[in-house]
Structure 1
Amino acid sequence: MVTVFKRSFATVWALISREMATNYGKSPGGYIWAILEPAAGIALMTALFSIAFRQPQLGISFALFYATGMLPFTMYKDLSGKIAKSISFSEKLMAYPAVTFMDAILARLILNTITQITIFFIVFGFIMATVETRAHLDFQWIALSIAATLNLSVGIGIFNSVAFMKVPVWENMWAILNRPMFMISCIFFLFDSVPEPFKSMLWFNPLVHIVGLMRKGFYPSYDAAYVSLTYLFAPPLILSAFGLMMLRRYHNSVR
């Protein structure tokens, strides 16, 4: 058992090193661009909305308000996309018996989770240090929001890794379906301010719940009573289980 674990750890580490060199080693700046992209988006939105409005819908800082929406969304988009492509990214290496589909998934999950959490700390730390926010951090809700984002990303990523392989057209369909998510995930507004019947429809977007949890962790006065932890965690876990079952079934054809 120990030998198997060591072999798997070595394989995952080798895949992580390969991805770091492939995705972040080719362009100048590498990891810096991964941090600057969401930071630039937050800065742009802060500048635009500061001109149009006197204050955000929550708190006094536009930068913090948009960061609590954009960073969870960015984390979900990056992780789910990377996990969905983990099989195709390591397809040639999976011809070797030592490399399994779980190694490929774990390598991408570990590397990109560390990257996204690092971005969280840098961006939020910079905002809290340079802008008056009057925020009071509750790490319980912040950690829960990050855990829910990871859970959702893994569930959708693993399911899509199977779907992309078995139904190639689904990749294009998924890209089309995901385009409006940036606008309907409560990045720019509060869920509570949405009128019916759109509010009831918007509730089924899990990212709305994740953003609500994140904002609850920065704004003690924000209740976020609409958030359902059962809805956030149960369906993605089912997707993960189904996706892993299908990957195991089709493992030979993938390799």
Structure 2
Amino acid sequence: MTEARRHPLSRFPAFRALGALIFREMATSYGRSPGGFVWTVLEPVGGIALLTVIFSMAVRVPPMGSSFALFYATGLLPFLMFLDVSRKIAQSLSFSKQLLFYPGVTFVDAIMARFVLCCVVHALVFVIVLSGIIAYDRVDLILDLPRVVLAFLMAAGLGLGVGCMNCFLMRRFPLWSNIWAIATRPLFLVSCIFMPFDSVPQGFRDVLWFNPIIHIVGMNRSAFYSTYRADYVEPVYVALVAAILFASGLALLFKWHRDLAQR
């Protein structure tokens, strides 16, 4: 009884393992490199600044609003979040390989620890970068916060689903890492970061609609531009894709994780 009072989480070893893995991830990812978390913020800032300079030289007016930086940030930030979450989840078994031999640590703990920390980091990046752009460019806007949160959750969920499936595929079939890297290179160009989905020719639009990142970007932009309706966005479609990939990846990992952890 006394021991339980001293340690409230002693009855929940899974939460203790998850917390320990999160702190380990923080120390490894942000504590050992010069700059640490700063580089996580500088990456999207550098990309947005470069896009702003390049396109402002060719086009005087951004596709939406009056700020080139805000337009590209609303597309680039959720895109980078999806990529980072999916990449971190896909590397969960490799990153925590030695810890998985302890009886109190499971591969689910490793996945959730990376997922939680990655979401927290990108939430801070969202706030820092977008607030900085709005203040610097003196943008006057009506922010729809629930849509921002929904876009964030859509990016996080899709990253979790894709990452979970890739976590199995990349450990089971090492060649898949190269195939995935090649397949995702065009994503930056076909996710409507440079232009609104509505401005894409109809023939291409019908095909691009099936890219779930299009819906995430559209949802996020509609939160910052009150006149942008984004009727094509279907959160249910993104949730369905994410759920199918997550459930399939998790089922395969439950079946093969012991063999995969030894590779």
**Aligning the two structures, in what range does the TM-score lie when normalised by the shorter sequence?**
over 0.9
Alignment of 1:1-255 (within 5 A): 6-255=12-261
Q: 1:97 is matched by which residue type in structure 2?
A: P
Displacement of 1:237 after TM fit? 0.5
Displacement of 1:69 after TM fit? 0.4
Shift of the 211–101 alpha-carbon distance from structure 1 to 2, 3 Å rule, reads: same
TM-score, with structure 2 as normaliser: 0.93
**Count of residue correspondences:** 254
Q: 1:197 is matched by which residue type in structure 2?
A: G
* 1:16–1:108 CA contact under 8 A, matched in 2: yes
TM-score, with structure 1 as normaliser: 0.96
CA displacement 1:44-67 (0-9 Å, x = unmatched): 111221111111111111010000
CA distance in 1, matches of 2:15, 2:180: 32
Displacement of 1:77 after TM fit? 0.6
Q: 2:182 is matched by which residue type in structure 1?
A: I
Q: 1:207 is matched by which residue type in structure 2?
A: I
Q: CA RMSD in A?
A: 1.3
1:197 counterpart SS class = helix
1:250 counterpart SS class = helix
CA distance in 2, matches of 1:254, 1:159: 13
Instruction: Give the % identical residues.
Output: 47
* 1:93–1:99 CA contact under 8 A, matched in 2: yes
> What are the ranges of 5 or more consecutive residues in structure 1 without an aligned counterpart?
none
User: More deviation in 46-55 or 66-75?
Assistant: 46-55
1:223 counterpart SS class = coil
Match of 2:4 in 1: none
